[in-house]
Structure 1
Amino acid sequence: MASAQNRESASPTVRLVADLARMARVRKGLTQEQLGKQTGYSAAAISAMETCAQPASDHLLMKLEEVVGDGMGTFEQARQYMRMEAYPPQFKNYAPLEQTAVSLHLCSMQVVHGLFQTEEYARALIGGSFPPLPEQRVEQLVKGRVIRKELFDRDPMPMIELILEESVLTRVIGNEMIMREQMRYLVECAQRRNVTLYVLPLNAGTFGEYAGDRGEMTLVETPEHQHLVYLEPQDESLLISDPAKVSTYAQRYAKIRSQALGPRESLDLIMRLAGVEE
């Protein structure tokens, strides 16, 4: 009965991957225990995956590809679809664009952008959101967020700019230790060749102009050099492709950047907050 309930509540992707894994195991003449030993998992873990009680992890799919994949790439391809399961519904249409982008221009006004979050910062942020989420879902979302970081080392490397409002750096998420580690991680990210980080200071509106008043935005350049804008207000999502609207957002982003501290000044500020010496 539990197995049937698991399958009914699981997504079509989770059910398909479970069936493919079970059929591949049977085709190889392996028991769940034998497959577990060859992949480094317990028989219980294999059973949980095949009954959809526990969706296949990214690592398990990699091991399944090695052991029962027969060089077909089935489970390697399944990794891409299973990763989508770890994203919120509103993010799923944007995720493939992010992973293949030529360039990303990001503007965050409330919290550290998801691509730049440490695991503990992400866990504190997601776990403390409202309405509250079950612990298992929190961990799934955290893993999905962490996996996105592979983008930084992709070949070819995307060019990434991030503008953070200064309040993001002082708004405590989780606790002070989590924030210090988050600041140190931002310092590491800022020193990457393909990353430029800016801080929009709190006094940016001193002279009567403040371009960041309309919140966060993401500007995306695709491999086909199409320019898009992605917005995510209040757990909703909006992907904008109209050239005139995209141009307006790009101009607004450029204005925000012009009001921000330079990369060196921004890094110095974050290093001071992180307690990192030059």
Structure 2
Amino acid sequence: MSVDGETVRLGTEADEPGWEVDPNDEWGVAVIATVGRQLKLRREAIGMRVTEFAAVMGYGDDLVYKVESGKRIPRQEYLDRADEVLGAGGLISATWEDVKKVRYPKKVRDLAQMEAKAVEIALYECHIVPGLLQTPEHARAVIGAAQPPYSPDDVERMVTARLARQSVFERSPAPALSFVLEEGVLRRPIGGTMTWRQQLERLLEVGRLHNVVLQVMPMRSTTHSGLDGRIELLKFPDGTAVGRSDGAFNGRPVSDPKHLRILELRYGTIRAQALSPGDSLTFIEQLLGET
């Protein structure tokens, strides 16, 4: 087994954070266990021991054991190399389509699945630019600011998951999207001037889409019904809906019509107090001009 820089890098991946399987993620555990079992059976079928397989692969024995026992999420290059070594004809490489989803935190996958089915999405955000609207650089700056800090690998994992949700803008037929953002959020130059400018430009781009209504809550509005936190409402083709608010029902998702009416009332009053869509875009253009 060679000891060049690439092999040394690959050999350390068994202990690299961010690729462990979340034991509370039942679907994720099942996917990684199935892939690991398939890898082990194929390796044993050609009479190759772990040490031999690891040497050919360019990885350490420990990583191979962890992947085959379902304790480690394999990278795409690991699966591609294993497919080649084991002569799987692309079957192992194809498992990446499921494996890569396990890399996303379960709560993000659940949210993305609901957003992908919704015909209407309404969101009021008071502290940050919503994830659906963030640029990669802005998302990286927001996630990277957490304390205690995430590892670089975890940051990239979470950025990737957040950006994957933005496929909602590519759906056909397009869902109806409504956003209300606080003026103060737009004035905070998270990530520095260039990242801030790119984020404002992204908001203008999205705000001009035919299926999007984007509004700004001006700071001159001294009070409104969203002061106690974020509100999100999703409506589905079958007429059902789900909503959540930081300031209602202990922050839990709700689907009861009586609870949904309360959230809809709050969101409606917030929209009524915000700048009109046209004035909101003009305001963002002015902010961009000031940078």
What is the CA distance between 1:84 and its match in structure 2? 5.1
String of CA shifts for 1:81-138, please: whole Å, max 9, x gaps. Answer: x435323x54444332112111100101111000000000000000111221111111
Unmatched 5+ stretches in structure 2 = 1-10, 23-28, 49-56, 84-88
Note if 1:85 corresponds to 2:103. yes
SS in 2 for 1:162: strand
Q: Which residue in the other structure is 1:160 paired with? A: 177
Letter in 2 for 1:85: R
In structure 2, what residue type is equivalent to 1:139?
A: E
1:166, 1:201 within 8 Å by CA — same for their partners in 2?
A: yes
Question: For residues 129 and 17 of structure 1, do their structure 2 counterparts lie closer, same or farther at Cα, with a shift above 3 Å needed?
Answer: farther
Pick from 138, 162, 166: which aligns with 1:145? Answer: 162
2:240 is matched with 226
Q: Which residue of 1 aligns with 2:5?
A: none
Alignment-derived partner of residue 103 in structure 1: 120
Q: How is 1:69-218 mapped onto 2 (pairs within 5 angstroms)?
A: 69=91, 76=97, 78=98, 82-83=100-101, 85-87=103-105, 90-205=107-222, 209-218=223-232
Query: Structure 1-normalised TM-score?
Result: 0.74
Using a 3 Å threshold, how does the CA distance of structure 1 residues 85 and 223 change in structure 2: closer, same or farther? farther
Q: Which residue of 2 aligns with 1:37?
A: none
User: Partner letter of residue 183 of structure 2?
Assistant: E
The yes-or-no answer on 1:68 pairing with 2:86 is no
Contact 1:3/1:53 (<8 A) preserved: no
Q: Say whether 1:252 aligns with 2:278.
A: no
The answer to whether the 8 A contact 1:227-1:241 is kept is yes
Q: Distance in 2 between the 1:118 and 1:3 partners?
A: 29
Given that 2:32 and 2:73 are in contact with CA atoms closer than 8 Å, whether structure 1 keeps it comes out as no
Report the TM-score when normalising by structure 2: 0.71
> In structure 2, do the counterparts of structure 1 residues 3 and 138 end up closer, same or farther at CA, with 3 Å as the change threshold?
closer
Aligned-partner SS, 1:220: strand
Matches of 1:162 and 1:212, distance apart in 2: 13
Cα distance in 1 between the residues matched to 2:176 and 2:41: 40
SS at match of 2:253: strand
- How many residues in Structure 1 have an aligned counterpart in Structure 2? 249
Tell me how far apart the structure 1 counterparts of residues 192 and 73 of structure 2 sit (CA, whole Å). Answer: 31
CA deviation string 1:179-208 (max 9, x = no partner)? 111000111111112211000111112xxx
Shift of 1:237: 5.9
| Aligned mates of 2:173, 2:209 — CA distance in 1 | 14
Report the Cα distance in structure 1 between the residues aligned to 2:259 and 2:76, rounded to whole angstroms: 39
| Residue in structure 1 matched with residue 277 of structure 2 by the alignment | 263
SS state at 1:248 partner: helix
Q: Distance in 2 between matches of 1:186 and 1:44?
A: 45
Larger radius of gyration: 2
CA distance in 2, matches of 1:274, 1:25: 57
- Counterpart for residue 8 of structure 2: none
The 3 A distance-change label for structure 1 pair 272 and 10 is same
Residue 3 to residue 257, structure 1, CA distance change in 2 (3 Å): closer
Gaps of 5+ in 1: 32-42
Tell me if the contact between 1:187 and 1:267 (Cα under 8 Å) persists in the aligned partners. Answer: yes
Assess if the C-alpha contact under 8 Å between 1:69 and 1:75 holds in 2. Answer: no
